Amino acid sequence: MRTRIAAGRVIDPAHRRDGIGDVWVDDGRIIDAPPSGTAADQTFNATGKIVMAGAIDIHSHIAGWNVNTARLLLPEFHRAATPRPAGTPLSNAGWSTFATGCLYAEMGFTTVVEPAVLPHYALHAHLELADTPIIDTATLAVLGNDDFLLALIRDRESATAVEDYVAWTLDAARALGVKVVNAGGSLALKANVRQFGFDDVVPDYGVSSREIVKTLQRATHALGVPHPLHVHCNNLGMAGSDATALTTIAAAEGLPLHLAHLQFYGYGKEGARGFSSAAPQLAEAVNGAKSVTIDVGQVMFGQTVTVSLDTLRQFNSRNHARPRKWVLLEGDANGGGIVPYNYRAGDFYNAVQWAVGLELFLLIDDPWRVFFTTDHPNGAPFTTYPEIFALLMDRDLRAQQIAALPPDAMAVTTLPGIAREYSLSEIATMTRAAPARLLGLTDRGHLGAGAVADIAVYSDDRDRAKMFRAAALVFKDGELVVRDGVVTRYRAGRALTVQPGRDRAIDRRMTRYYDERYGLSDAYIKIPDHAVGRPFGLVPCAR
């Protein structure tokens, strides 16, 4: 069926397109405009509307046992969208996997990456993602606190051995890329270490955090995995964490490296309270390190819950829990931690955090290298994205909000003096074209012929938050799924994975390892094709 989205303002930075025109779709894909006079089977009038590719979120915690533990810890925050009979378990559970898919689609997002999946728990994450309607999803497999990798490094095994292990893990866990969370820090916590930096050494292994990050960065690159190693740095959230981030950026050494939620490392020690924005220094370092990409992890004010595999950090922040309850799980490798938190506009530290995120967005020059995240739900729920788009696009709106925040907090940031406003094209770059390129998803993030027909149409409105909150139309694979901000059709998305080549000798070695170490078959962590009841989409690797 041939569909025409007619006469909208088409913003497609991948093809340097920003102008009034049509977008044509056939059989789930975007096609070149046919000769004029060709009739469409259906036409949507997009006059006065903005047409973009579907948005892509590269880092949002939406599935897996950590997220599920947060749901169980905080039943009082569930919204009763479809109440179950009172008195039954989870009778008021509202924000389910089902709601996640719908809420994303209603904002025009069509692909989301869950960035923190421990390989041993990957099946659970994939089952939840398969239950998340409409959007395509992918996962990042977390390595770097696991015994097998650290033993490889300790024993000075070859780069090839590490590459084979990484390739085996990506295949077993059906992931799109590799992440490392506080490399070595979770293992150090188990040895009663309470602070762990980039050049500190993991007890029992004699391996530094730097060695772990560099080893995984090189292996990911050598395997030709499109997405570079995704790094959650050490010392998250601490005054002086800017030094850790700067050291990690320098350690990229010209090879691709992605730093997650950089906002949480943008804190210097200046000012009367010893807590200040270091965003200008971090932005300068990112601007100069062309192989480095970052996402922001913007903080917005309100109640949320922090969900992290960084058990060292979560242990240290447990006393800040609001409400006062938390969960820390010591598991294989990373374990995990859940600490609810309430960001308050009147709080000095929270106001600085809010400003640091916006400074990073506005001081990093290249929208192809700075990615839009709140580290959902850690900085804020993803439902706050429309408000953040509005803040980036309107300095007057920022000034209004700055005026309501503690002046001493704003005094230790540069935000009040920043005039930059994002254009719609820059927003489209940061949320569509750039993330597709960063993840190796050549079939999306743009509106060129051959792309999957994931398309978001917004009613052009001076109130950008209102505009981005409720897309006028959203198409997934060419099918209309949202109209006037409401889901009109449910469909299953795909799970996107990579499968880089490996020497199969690693398979026999892993079978032996699981048998000797756990008394388990390695099939225990492998996700077979049929397990989740939906197709996997294979993203090509360079090797």
Site residues (vs Zn ion, CB under 5 A)? 375
The bridge status of strand 2-12 relative to strand 42-45 is parallel
Are 476 and 153 in contact by the 8 Å Cβ rule? The answer is no
CB nearer to Zn ion: give 57 or 375: 375
Task: Supply the minimum distance, in Å, between the C-beta of residue 179 and Zn ion.
Answer: 9
Task: Supply the minimum distance, in Å, between the C-beta of residue 92 and Zn ion.
Answer: 27
Distance in angstroms (rounded) separating the CA atoms of residues 453 and 537: 16
Q: Quick one: tokens of 267?
A: 């804190």
CB nearer to Zn ion: give 61 or 444: 61
Task: Supply the minimum distance, in Å, between the C-beta of residue 385 and Zn ion.
Answer: 15
CB nearer to Zn ion: give 376 or 464: 376
Calculate the alpha carbon distances from 256 to 217, 219, 251, 292 in Å. Answer: 8, 11, 11, 6
CB nearer to Zn ion: give 375 or 426: 375
CB nearer to Zn ion: give 375 or 454: 375
CB nearer to Zn ion: give 294 or 447: 294
Task: Supply the minimum distance, in Å, between the C-beta of residue 444 and Zn ion.
Answer: 22
Residues 6 or more apart whose CB falls under 8 angstroms from that of 259 comprise 231, 233, 245, 248, 249, 265, 292, 293, 294, 295
Task: Supply the minimum distance, in Å, between the C-beta of residue 510 and Zn ion.
Answer: 27
Task: Supply the minimum distance, in Å, between the C-beta of residue 375 and Zn ion.
Answer: 4
Are 260 and 297 in contact by the 8 Å Cβ rule? The answer is yes
Task: Supply the minimum distance, in Å, between the C-beta of residue 58 and Zn ion.
Answer: 10
Are 64 and 128 in contact by the 8 Å Cβ rule? The answer is yes
CB nearer to Zn ion: give 64 or 500: 64
Looking from the CA of 387 toward its CB, the CA atoms found within 13 Å total 13
Distance in angstroms (rounded) separating the CA atoms of residues 370 and 373: 9
- Coil vs helix vs strand at 25: strand
Work out the end-to-end distance of the chain between its first and last CA atoms, rounded to an integer number of angstroms.
36
Residue number of the CB closest to Zn ion reads 375
DSSP string, 474-501: EEETTEEEEETTEE-------EEE----
